[in-house]
């Protein structure tokens, strides 16, 4: 029985079947409940379900964008089963799944889980979008070559990604000296919130550092804890919702956003509003990437 006496099936925005079938949907939400390498406060594996459940309370019409991006169709896949062999094997699993989705012409929104999930997703995009660059929003540089005996620890994610494609990061405010030295030696465009705010035209200057095809990797601890407390490694002095939305809007206008991920929400470590923010951010990224649906 599927009449209006019942809630819609579980899925992002709780869309009706005509807007959430895989074949007709332009966007696909990929839940990845994985946090095997977390080294601080755990709980990110609960994030995909929390974000999807929070999204069911969103209005599909985006007042800021002026359109209903859900009309593009958004399909929600089942959660990716964790690979217990190694974090590297999990990255390979994610890469293979995202590659299949891209080959089907889908815009993929990967919902972590920990930030390690970005490695496989970025690699799949880089192989299909030559010249890809990554816009990373994160409180941490994540440039360690190895951490806790693994080169695929969450603290190494951007080190693995810069081996694949260039990265521009904003929001950094916690970093070890060896990572600072790497940033200086390689002139990596990694910016603190203060440095970003001191740019004469921050969003546009940052966008100019990116290539035409952009993947957005969003570690939610890039936001200030006053707006995003539900993360395992919160850091004071972060970016705010309006700053992030302005930056993403400019990037979507000047470049093409071809994929994205949201990671590191640990819903039990903060108020329910944090999952709602993450859901709204995921939906805004879909709207910015796909644009206004045809009439």
pLDDT attached to residue 125: 98
Opening angle at CA 73, ends 26 and 49, nearest 5: 100
Per residue in 155-191, pLDDT (tens digit) is 999 999 999 999 999 999 999 999 999 999 999 999 9
Percent of the chain with pLDDT over 70: 99
Closest CA to 147 of 162, 166, 160: 160
State which fold the 32-290 domain adopts: 3.40.800
Torsion of CA 250, 126, 124, 29, to 10 degrees: 10
- Give me Rg for the CA atoms of the chain: 18
| φ, ψ for residue 58, nearest 5 deg | -80, 145
Torsion of CA 226, 231, 237, 239, to 10 degrees: -80
Per residue in 197-254, pLDDT (tens digit) is 999 999 999 999 999 999 999 999 999 999 999 999 999 999 999 999 999 999 999 9
Supply the mean pLDDT for the chain: 96
Binned at pLDDT 50, 70 and 90, residue 124 comes out as: very high
- Please classify residue 59 by burial: count the beta carbons closer than 10 Å to its beta carbon, then call 0-12 exposed, 13-18 middle and 19+ buried: exposed
3-state helix, strand, coil in the chain (%, to 5): 40, 20, 40
pLDDT attached to residue 1: 56
């Amino acid at each position: 029985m599927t009449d209006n006496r019942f809630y819609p099936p579980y899925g992002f925005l709780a869309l009706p079947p005509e807007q959430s079938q895989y074949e007709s949907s332009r966007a696909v939400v990929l839940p990845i409940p994985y946090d095997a390498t977390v080294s601080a406060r755990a709980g990110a594996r609960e994030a995909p379900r929390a974000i999807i459940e929070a999204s069911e309370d969103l209005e599909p019409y985006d007042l800021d964008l002026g359109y209903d991006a859900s009309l593009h169709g958004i399909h929600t896949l089942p959660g990716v089963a964790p690979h217990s062999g190694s974090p590297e094997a999990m990255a390979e699993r994610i890469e293979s799944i995202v590659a299949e989705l891209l080959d089907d012409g889908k815009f993929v929104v990967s919902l972590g889980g920990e930030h390690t999930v970005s490695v496989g997703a970025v690699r799949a995009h880089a192989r299909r979008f030559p010249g890809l660059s990554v816009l990373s929003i994160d409180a941490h540089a994540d440039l360690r070559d190895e951490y806790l005996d693994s080169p695929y620890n969450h603290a190494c994610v951007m080190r693995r990604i810069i081996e694949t494609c260039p990265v521009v990061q904003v929001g950094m405010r916690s970093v070890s000296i060896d990572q600072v030295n790497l940033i200086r030696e390689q002139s990596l465009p990694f910016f603190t919130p203060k440095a970003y705010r001191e740019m004469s035209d921050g969003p546009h200057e940052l966008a100019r550092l990116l290539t035409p095809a952009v993947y957005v990797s969003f570690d939610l601890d890039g936001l200030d804890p006053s707006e995003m407390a539900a993360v395992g490694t919160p850091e004071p002095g972060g970016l705010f919702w309006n700053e992030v939305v302005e930056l993403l809007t400019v990037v979507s206008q000047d470049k093409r956003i071809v994929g994205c991920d949201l990671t590191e929400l640990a819903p039990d470590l903060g108020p329910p509003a944090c999952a709602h923010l993450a859901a709204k951010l995921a939906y805004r990224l879909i709207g910015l990437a796909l644009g206004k649906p045809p009439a």
